[in-house]
Amino acid sequence: MGIVCPLGHDIATMWDNILNCRSGMSQTTIFDATTYPTKFCSEVKNFDFAKYTKNPELHQNGNRHSKFAIGAVAGACKQAKIEVESENPNDGVNRRRMGIYLGAGEGPVDSDIFFNAIIKGWDESTSTMDWNKWADFAYSKMQAQMELEQEPNMPAAHISIYTGARGPVRSCLTACAASTQAVGEAFKVLQSGQADVMIAGGAHSMIHPLGIMGFNRLTALSTRNDSPETASRPFTASRDGFVIGEGAAIVILETLESAKKRGVEILAEVIGYGSSSDAFRVTDMHEEARGAVTAIEAALKDANVSYKDIDYISTHGTSTSENDSIETLAIKTVFKEEAKNTPVSSIKSMMGHLIGAAGAAELISCVLAIRDNVLPPTINYNDPDPELDLDYVPNKPRKADINIAMKESFGFGGQNNVVIIKRYEN
């Protein structure tokens, strides 16, 4: 496993911060957001990309999230004993049997050029665009490589060069559910025998002028500008939106046979995956949590376990009014009498919402929860929403026996994905 996120650039640091209930949120510094409705976010800070590569020229144009992705892949490959940037790797992994599945976002647009080209071309008096003026400016400013890096398949491109992976390579973007879907589909790629090893996870940064504008217009973001650290407060009565984060999270999935042959440490076992679609409304989740319930039930069935076997649920838990209510309803619907006895939490209270990368980052916390038998908390849980009455592991981590954990993610647009993992026992 490897991670680059607002709570740290390696697994140990991230986990230490989570267990000590630290928040990654502060004033936005990536761009000047001082006049935006939301002026804060959860940024990756002091990221030193140079230490991850001996070929910096190959990645110099890479966008923030592509570089985060390489940082996360570096950590994950080190733990899984997979050589990177190697002409002749001697790690027992056939590169044609090693694939990549990322839930990756688009690169941020080069906003200075984007905005100014429009201003140059726009004629206020006639409400028309002079495309010649627009094009002249764009031609003189846009750089080919920087434009290329805005395409959403570029993080996967950087990873394939970095690792030499030549097996199935795919990249998906199902909004906030993307990297849970990527891990789930990578699991299925392995099950179907198309590969021995899959590099899976997500990378995303939407902390840019158009991204924050878009979410602000949707009124999806918290505007608690006077208190960024307490702004993400999933399942509370005073929750007012999510806090956007950024980063990359990678897990190496491998067939048991290959992992044993190579003698690598097995951190957990993926046992189930479920995917569904709300098919309800463009703007809202289904009011009876239809899609979420379908995905959870599909994952349980795939894992061949009962809801009674789930020891911990890592929720989507965004801290928006709608998600936290519908998600609680989904859990109650599936878990019935066990709902209130099953601990559920949201580390988005500390990390923020990594959008495409969120699911994989939270799945990593599930692996660590199983390893350490500790439930990561939901912080800022000081005013429970009376309607939401599950065990949200409030405010501090808690010891518990955890053998099976479930990660759920729900995307804008109604894509729902659930992955279930289990303690590996030889």
Q: Which of residues 337-396 bind another protein (CB under 8 A)?
A: none
Check binding of 35 to another protein (CB under 8 A). Answer: yes
- Give the one residue of 31, 78, 83, 305 binding another protein; rule: CB under 8 A: 31
How far apart (Å, rounded) are the C-alpha atoms in residues 124 and 359?
44
Contact window for another protein (CB under 8 A) among 188-196, 316-324, 325-333, 358-366: 188-196
When the beta carbons of 15 and 36 are compared against another protein, the nearer one is 36
Size of interface with another protein, in residues (CB under 8 A): 94
Check binding of 213 to another protein (CB under 8 A). Answer: yes
For the bound state, the minimum distance from the C-beta of residue 364 to another protein, rounded and expressed in Å, comes to: 22
Check binding of 58 to another protein (CB under 8 A). Answer: yes
- Give the one residue of 45, 281, 308, 336 binding another protein; rule: CB under 8 A: 281
Contact window for another protein (CB under 8 A) among 41-49, 119-127, 244-252, 346-354: 119-127
When the beta carbons of 82 and 100 are compared against another protein, the nearer one is 100
Q: Which two tokens stand for residue 358?
A: 């969120």
- At residue 25, φ and ψ (nearest 5 deg) are -95, 145
Helices 321-335, 290-303: crossing angle, 10 deg rounding = 50
How far apart (Å, rounded) are the C-alpha atoms in residues 59 and 50?
10
CB-side neighbour CA atoms (13 Å) of 61: 13
When the beta carbons of 255 and 395 are compared against another protein, the nearer one is 255
When the beta carbons of 178 and 421 are compared against another protein, the nearer one is 178
Terminal C-alpha separation, the chain: 20
Check binding of 275 to another protein (CB under 8 A). Answer: yes
Contact window for another protein (CB under 8 A) among 41-49, 72-80, 109-117, 321-329: 109-117
Residue 26 is inside which H or E element, if any? strand 25-27
* Per-residue burial over 353-380, b = 16 or more CB atoms within 10 Å of its CB, e = otherwise: bbbbbbbbbbbbbbbbbbeeebbbbbbb
- Give the one residue of 47, 394, 413, 424 binding another protein; rule: CB under 8 A: 413
When the beta carbons of 142 and 256 are compared against another protein, the nearer one is 142
How far apart (Å, rounded) are the C-alpha atoms in residues 196 and 209?
41
CB 378 within 8 A of CB 314: no
- The footprint of another protein on residues 282-301 (CB under 8 A) is 282-283, 290-291, 294, 298
When the beta carbons of 320 and 349 are compared against another protein, the nearer one is 320
Task: Give the dihedral sign, CA 330/331/335/338.
Answer: negative
Q: Which two tokens stand for residue 123?
A: 């004629």
CB 123 within 8 A of CB 130: yes
- Give the one residue of 12, 29, 218, 341 binding another protein; rule: CB under 8 A: 218
- Give the one residue of 13, 20, 86, 191 binding another protein; rule: CB under 8 A: 191
CA-nearest of 188, 197, 194 to 264 is 197
Contact window for another protein (CB under 8 A) among 13-21, 73-81, 98-106, 325-333: 98-106
Check binding of 32 to another protein (CB under 8 A). Answer: yes
How far apart (Å, rounded) are the C-alpha atoms in residues 165 and 86?
11
- State the catalytic residues: 176, 316, 353
When the beta carbons of 241 and 343 are compared against another protein, the nearer one is 241
- The footprint of another protein on residues 126-185 (CB under 8 A) is 127, 129, 131-132, 134-136, 138-139, 142-145, 147-148, 150-154, 156-157, 160-161, 164-175, 181, 185
Residue 367 is inside which H or E element, if any? helix 358-372
